[in-house]
Amino acid sequence: MEINIYQFVEGARQAKGLTVIIDVFRAFSVACYVMNNGVKDLFPIGSIEMAYKLKEENPEFILMGERGGLIQPGFDYGNSPASVESVDFNGRTVVHTTSAGTQGIVNAIHADEIITGSFVNAQAIIDYIRAKNPDYVSLVCMGWEAVEEADEDTLFANYVKNALEGKPNDFAAIVHYMRHESKTGKFLDVRGEASAPTEDFDLCLCLDRFPFVLKAEPYGDSLVRLHKVNMDKDWSAIG
């Protein structure tokens, strides 16, 4: 198994094999919280115009996401795990668009398959990759606005790579670094505004809270749908 780490949208375009699009703060952490709360369909979208169009055509859809970290006009939720942690999404459809994370999914055009990456489902991701045992694994860090390296995404990529290569990880050291040294962590921790509550820091670094992988699959002509693969019971579906 050859494992390569890439950065940003350009990295997503280069990715091949089993591809993990990583966004710890906060796109693919919040996506896991929404999926855990029973969402029927979760659509990661690139352009905000497309998100508004989908809402216009389907008024019952829920809009979630950000630009510049902030909830956008007409959106039901921002990109914040704290805002959705206790929301019941049963039977609902959520359209999710963000500056970094969802851009990676729509740009991973050469990937054999795409799953999302975040610490909240890290072990499920590692188990999934081990079970599939692909020739190539691409770990794509989306960073800040998909243009500036974000420590948490690169740390996550190395966490997965280490685990797959049988090397040790020290998650406590990662959290300590993020809280006290990383520019990214300090930034998130002090934002404390409606679009980025301070609780998001801990909710995004809640290791292995969810036992499932989010797998991206084409839906209709132009959409991608995130589908849940339960690593505690769906082994037959992994194949």
Ligand X SMILES: O=C(O)[C@H](CS(=O)(=O)O)OP(=O)(O)O
Per CB under 6 A, the list member of 48, 100, 115, 229 interacting with ligand X is 100
Verify binding: residue 119, ligand X, rule CB under 6 A.
no
Angle at which helices 171-180 and 183-191 pack, to 10 degrees? Answer: 70
Please tell me whether residue 66 binds ligand X under the rule CB under 6 A: yes
Residue 21 touching ligand X (CB under 6 A): no
Look at the block and give the residue holding tokens 């993020």: 178
Q: Is the peptide bond before 26 cis (omega within 30 degrees of 0)?
A: yes
Q: How many residues bind ligand X (CB under 6 A)?
A: 14
CA distance 199 to 192: 8
Q: Tell me how crowded residue 94 is: count the other CB atoms within 10 A of its CB.
A: 26
Please select the residue that binds ligand X; options are 23, 127, 151, 152, rule is CB under 6 A.
23
Task: Identify the residue among 5, 21, 27, 157 touching ligand X (CB under 6 A).
Answer: 27
Does 44 contact ligand X by CB under 6 A?
A: no
101 in contact with ligand X (CB under 6 A): yes
The CA distances from residue 84 to 54, 195, 199, in Å, are: 21, 12, 12
Q: Which residues pair with 70 in a beta bridge?
A: 67
Interaction of residue 75 with ligand X, rule CB under 6 A: no
Binding flag, residue 79, ligand X (CB under 6 A): yes
Q: How far apart are CA 114 and CA 29, in angstroms?
A: 16
**In the complex, which residues of this chain contact ligand X (CB under 6 A)?**
23, 25-27, 66, 69, 79, 98-101, 142, 144-145
